[in-house]
Structure 1
Amino acid sequence: MKPLKEFTIPFVGLKIAKHLFEYEVNQAFFKHFEYEDFNDVNIHVNVELEKKTTLLELHFEISGWVNVNCDLTNEPYNQTIENTFDLVVNFGDEYNDEHIDILIIPHGTYEISVEQYIYELIILSVPIKRIHPGVEDGSLDSEILKKLEELSPKLKEDKEKEEDIDPRWNTLKKLLTDK
């Protein structure tokens, strides 16, 4: 996969100080990674690069929304996301990204690509279980929700069945709980 040029930071010409890079991430960014779980995306990314004499410190901040389908109703909705991530870039003999928050790049490297870190930060910011806000507050009117409610077991019927049980079974249940 060819890296996206706008997410490459050439740090060799920068002064030893803090530098801010801003990116707008949209659906085309995820098409580049062949990720199709999002219907639409609008995310603002701030990358603060602090250049020091022997290393680089990157601080990522994302905020925005992704349009996803609800896991219960399959209705699309905008899920707001916010997250931060810190990365230390050090120089060494060879490339090494074994650690989550430490990246070692070879001496003589003059630029760093941050697209993979932005991609992973966004993906990990989306909740595992995606529930439409209308489901939680009861305002969503959906055919699927009506069908789920229709097919769900009724609590009142269960209580009535328990009352109709022969009382001799209750004494047997006590034997199990008296241990």
Structure 2
Amino acid sequence: MKDLKKFNIQFVGLKEGTHLFDYEIDNKFFDAFNYDEFKSSSIKVLLNFIKKSTLFELTFTANGYVEVPCDLTNELYKQDVHAVLPLVVNFGQEFNDENEEILILPHEAYEFNVSQFIYEMIVLSVPNKRVHPKVLDGTMESEAYNKLKELEIKEIKTVEETDPRWDKLKNLITEKKT
């Protein structure tokens, strides 16, 4: 995790007010978390850090792309990433990160690492179903996509005929009523 040391924020020496931190995220960052779903990535994360006397207000903003395979065609494409994550850091008796909007640090802490928050923000901003933009606009030309279109169900035919056995059962019900 020594690759993630640049994400440590030593807040003890910071004056009250706004501080900006920026980070360039690539696949080395995701390798530190053993996350290999992105083939490549280029994301700029801007952290707006507001230090107040009793707490910190953080706002993470991520913009860039990750290269992922399409779920339909397996073709690689660049998925845009745009995400914002607000976080409040407060102090208490012990470390607590159970609430996703509030982080509690022990009173004796002098720094904390923001890499986990950046990682979660980026991974959660990528859609679960990844569809290549060319599939959506109909311009995709790939063997896999052409085969999917060939096998697609064109039209569902409804059958108006009923099974004669059911008709006989329906007649039994109507005969009892009369």
Q: Report deviation, 1:166.
A: 4.6
Contact 1:68 1:78 (8 Å CA) reproduced: yes
Contact 1:7 1:114 (8 Å CA) reproduced: yes
1:15-164 aligned within 5 A: 15-155=15-155, 158-159=156-157, 162=159
Unaligned runs of 5+ in 1: none
**TM-score, normalising length: structure 2:** 0.87
Aligned-partner Cα distance in 2 for 1:126–1:115: 17
- Matched residue of 2:68: which SS? strand
- For residues 139-173 of structure 1, the C-alpha deviation after alignment (integer angstroms, 9 at most, x for no partner) is 11010111112222232xx44x74xx55898xx7x
**Structure 1 runs of 4+ with >6 Å offset:** none
**TM-score, normalising length: structure 1:** 0.87
Q: Report deviation, 1:2.
A: 5.3
Partner of 1:4: 4
Aligned-partner Cα distance in 1 for 2:4–2:162: 73
Contact 1:3 1:113 (8 Å CA) reproduced: no
Q: Which moved more, 1:92-101 or 1:117-126?
A: 92-101
Please say which structure displays the higher CA radius of gyration. 2
Distance 1:84 1:51, change over 3 A: same
Aligned-partner Cα distance in 1 for 2:11–2:162: 80
Aligned-partner Cα distance in 2 for 1:107–1:47: 23
Aligned-partner Cα distance in 2 for 1:10–1:96: 18
Aligned-partner Cα distance in 1 for 2:60–2:98: 19
- For residues 16-44 of structure 1, the C-alpha deviation after alignment (integer angstroms, 9 at most, x for no partner) is 00000000000100011000000000000
Aligned-partner Cα distance in 1 for 2:162–2:112: 74
Q: Report deviation, 1:3.
A: 6.7
Aligned-partner Cα distance in 2 for 1:80–1:61: 13
Give the root-mean-square deviation of aligned CA atoms: 1.9
- Matched residue of 2:140: which SS? coil
Aligned-partner Cα distance in 2 for 1:134–1:14: 48
The size of the alignment, in residue pairs, is 167
Q: Determine what percentage of the aligned residue pairs are the same residue.
A: 50
Distance 1:147 1:5, change over 3 A: same
Unaligned runs of 5+ in 2: 171-178
